[in-house]
């Protein structure tokens, strides 16, 4: 019969092994904290925080923050990840002292069986939640980890679906029939306008932080893109944003994007999909390289060179929105246009291809930086002098 000391020693080793395993699982979940939904936060607190009062405080904080309309825990609760790490570590110390192997068994995190290879999965997973119009995804990761490659792999599979077309500002080294290159907003709308109504498009927006990021939220450019996001479904498509930092993703995309891809290193991708058709979560290795010949060194700047507010007004209420969209784009074609000088009393017609020019050659100096203040001051002083002279000359 094994001695009591031997049994205690064996049990201690089992507790240590299980504790290490569970902590590894908890850390793996915390590492993907910025991908969590509100339900993920509730589930984690339920199993990771043992102190009853602390658990109740966490759950109340989650519910209150969710009620404010914040898109996710990482956005809505300041320093939440740090607080969870501290509380989780404390719970493990309690479990080691009094919970034993049974207590550790209640701390159920994601199974940690090592990284599975992407080869075991059906690649249709990537587009399962993007096939229908009006769905969103985002791809994050530090530079050089394969974000654009991941976006292109998704675009490949999207374009292979019947009546689906991939569009994006990812420049190709040579034309490829599977991908329509749209360098700017005008090119995107032109592509949409020329697609049949029964075709669903998917737009991949690379280097989103250059033109569409949270720090620039107050700019007209970002506000216009927010308006576009609200109408993606009605325009017939879905949208994928590629941005390095999760913290720079615009609020509306955090709220809309139920499909999240985080590129940890080349070939290693964490995938979080929450519908509407498929729920899937895993971190995989051996993620494939795209067969699209994209230019990895292209800056991928996406200029918003269309007045989106006017564009939506032009197609709103139309029986044939795409025809109205084509007419609007044709009317907004770049080139010199006749304009009327806005200087009061002038009315002179001039031609300019710059919409910012409001004055004719005679009066343009009023908006010529170096002379503006001096000229306007001289004009005001002259007006005052004339008014004074008129006043003094009155009987």
CA proximity to 44, closest of 85, 76, 5, 8: 85
User: Is 318 within the bounds of a domain?
Assistant: no
The number of beta carbons lying within 10 Å of the beta carbon of residue 9 is: 12
Residues 6+ apart with CB under 8 A from 362: 341, 343, 346, 348
Q: Is the pLDDT of residue 221 over 70?
A: yes
The Cα 181–Cα 170 span in angstroms is 7
Asked whether residue 354 falls in the same domain as residue 300, the answer is no
> In this predicted structure, which of 214-218, 304-308, 320-324 has the lowest mean pLDDT?
214-218
> Does residue 97 sit in helix, strand or coil?
helix
pLDDT of residue 112 exceeding 50, the answer is no
The predicted model scores a pTM of 0.66
Q: Taking residues 70-78, what's their average pLDDT?
A: 82
Which comes out higher in pLDDT, residue 157 or 384?
157
Domain tally, the chain: 3
In the structure encoding, which two tokens stand for residue 295, read together? 């230019």
Residues 244 and 149 in one domain: yes
Kindly indicate the confidence band of residue 69, based on its pLDDT and cuts at 50, 70 and 90: confident
**Cβ neighbours around 136 below 10 Å, total:** 22
Average pLDDT on 286-299 reads 94
Closest by Cα among 258, 303, 256, 263 to 280 = 258
- Whether 189 is covered by a domain: the verdict is yes
**Chain-centre distance of CA 11, in angstroms?**
49
Q: For residue 298, what is the domain's CATH number?
A: 3.40.50.300
Q: How confident is the model at residue 348 (pLDDT cuts 50, 70, 90)?
A: confident
CA distance 249 to 74: 12
Assess if residue 237 is contained within a domain. yes
pLDDT score, position 372: 43
| 143 pLDDT more than 50 | yes
- Picking from 105, 128, 158, the residue at the C-terminal end of a domain is 105
pLDDT digits (tens, 9 = 90+) for 171-194: 999 999 999 999 999 999 999 999
For residues 147 and 140, the answer to whether their CB atoms sit within 8 Å is yes
Q: How far apart are CA 380 and CA 395, in angstroms?
A: 25
Residues 181 and 286 in one domain: yes
The tokens describing 277, both together, are: 């058709």
**Residue 6 confidence (pLDDT):** 41
Tokens 């490659």, residue located: 149
Query: Has residue 381 got a pLDDT over 60?
Result: no
Gap between the Cα atoms of 288 and 72, Å rounded: 30
Of 32-36, 52-56, 80-84, minimum mean pLDDT range:
32-36
The span from the CA of 10 to the CA of 47, in Å, is: 26
Same domain, 150 and 53: no
Confidence check: pLDDT of 326 > 60: yes
Residue 81 exposed, middle or buried by CB count within 10 Å (0-12, 13-18, 19+): middle
In a domain, 14, yes or no: yes
Q: What is the pLDDT of residue 345?
A: 80
Q: Are residues 172 and 274 in the same domain?
A: yes
Query: Residue 274: is its pLDDT beyond 80?
Result: yes
The verdict on 299 and 174 lying in the same domain is yes
Q: Is residue 329 part of a domain?
A: no
Mean local confidence (pLDDT), 334-355: 74
| Domain finish residue from 105, 126, 143 | 105
- Place 286 in a pLDDT band, splitting at 50, 70 and 90: very high
Predicted confidence band at 369 (pLDDT cuts at 50, 70, 90)?
very low
Residue 319 forms part of a structural domain:
no
Is residue 15 scored above 70 in pLDDT? no
Range of the domain at 36: 4-105
> Of 238, 235, 231, which Cα lies nearest the Cα of 151?
238
At residue 199's C-alpha, the angle toward residues 185 and 329, to 5°, is: 30
Mean pLDDT of all residues belonging to the chain: 83
Q: Based on the fold, state whether residues 240 and 361 are members of the same structural domain.
A: no
Q: Within this chain, do residues 121 and 202 fall inside the same structural domain, yes or no?
A: yes
| Stated length of the chain | 395
No. of H helices and E strands in the chain?
A: 13, 11
- At 226, list the tokens: 């927010």
Is the residue at 322 inside a domain? no
State the SS3 of 14-32.
HHHHHHHHHHHHHHHHHHC
Average pLDDT over residues 25-33: 80
pLDDT score at 374: 44
Residue 218 domain-assigned?
Answer: yes
Are 286 and 353 in the same domain?
no
**One domain, residues 133 and 100:** no
* Residue ending a domain, choose from 55, 76, 105: 105
- In DSSP terms, 242 is beta-bridged to 139
Task: Taking residues 311-323, report their average pLDDT.
Answer: 94
Q: 202 and 228: one domain? A: yes
Same-domain status, 242 and 178: yes
């Amino acid at each position: 019969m094994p001695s009591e000391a031997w049994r205690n020693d064996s049990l201690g080793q089992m507790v240590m092994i299980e504790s290490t395993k569970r902590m590894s699982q908890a850390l793996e979940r915390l590492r993907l904290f910025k991908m969590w939904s509100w339900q993920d936060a509730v589930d984690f607190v339920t199993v990771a925080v043992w102190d009853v009062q602390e658990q109740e405080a966490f759950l109340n904080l989650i519910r209150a923050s969710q009620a404010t309309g914040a898109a996710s825990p990482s956005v809505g609760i300041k320093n939440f990840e740090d607080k969870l790490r501290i509380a989780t570590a404390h719970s493990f110390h309690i479990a080691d002292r009094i919970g034993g192997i049974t207590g550790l068994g209640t701390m159920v995190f994601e199974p940690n069986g090592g990284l599975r290879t992407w080869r075991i999965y059906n690649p249709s997973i990537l587009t399962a939640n993007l096939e229908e119009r009006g769905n969103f995804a985002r791809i994050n990761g530090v530079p050089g980890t394969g974000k654009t490659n991941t976006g292109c792999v998704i675009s490949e599979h999207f374009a292979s679906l019947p009546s689906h077309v991939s569009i994006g500002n990812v420049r190709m080294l040579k034309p490829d029939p599977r991908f329509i290159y749209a360098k700017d907003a005008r090119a995107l709308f032109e592509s949409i306008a020329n697609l049949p109504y029964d075709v669903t498009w998917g737009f991949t927006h690379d280097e989103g932080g250059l033109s569409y990021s949270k720090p620039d939220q107050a700019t007209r450019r970002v506000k216009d893109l927010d308006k576009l996001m609200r109408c993606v479904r009605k325009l017939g498509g879905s949208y994928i944003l590629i941005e390095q930092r999760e913290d720079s993703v615009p609020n509306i995309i955090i709220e809309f994007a139920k499909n999240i891809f985080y590129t940890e290193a080349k070939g290693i991708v964490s995938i979080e999909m929450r519908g509407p058709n498929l729920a899937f979560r895993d971190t995989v290795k051996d993620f494939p390289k795209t067969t699209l010949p994209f230019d990895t060194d292209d800056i991928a700047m996406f200029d918003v060179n269309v007045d989106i507010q006017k564009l939506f007004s032009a197609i709103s209420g139309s029986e044939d929105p795409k025809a109205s969209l084509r007419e609007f784009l044709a009317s907004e074609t770049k080139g010199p246009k006749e304009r009327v000088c806005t200087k009061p009393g002038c009315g002179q017609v001039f031609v300019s291809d710059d919409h910012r020019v409001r004055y004719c050659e005679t009066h343009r100096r009023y908006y010529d930086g170096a002379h503006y203040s001096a000229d306007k001051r001289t004009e005001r002083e002259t007006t005052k002098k004339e008014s004074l002279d008129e006043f003094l000359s009155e009987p």
